[in-house]
Structure 1
């Protein structure tokens, strides 16, 4: 029997800043709408992942 292990990716503030810069560059650079939407989705997902990461750490410290 094998155990399932949780995949964990650490998202840094630098990751968030770079994703935001990429999204804004796409938005302001006249890129096609799908490219802008994809860049925003990456940015949004990184923010969400970092928020979950912070919440997990908060819960871990309170246990």
Structure 2
């Protein structure tokens, strides 16, 4: 159960990376943060879906 909470926290962190406000000295890295945030959300969402399907099949 702890892994599920960790994966959800990672999804929220990815969402937060995509919603960072424009900071002048980090403005050149804005698109990089968007890409990393989107990839983080996708990867950990797919892992949660996989874990859910695996749990359903075991029953």
TM-score, normalised relative to structure 1: 0.59
Cα offset, 1:14, TM superposition: 4.6
- Residue of structure 2 equivalent to 1:52: 46
Cα offset, 1:22, TM superposition: 7.8
Where relative contact order (Cα < 8 A, 6+ residues apart) is larger, the structure is 2
Q: Distance in 2 between matches of 1:54 and 1:17?
A: 15
Q: Distance in 1 between matches of 2:45 and 2:18?
A: 20
Larger radius of gyration: 1
More helix by share: 2
Structure 2 gaps, min length 5? 1-5
Structure 1 gaps, min length 5? 1-9
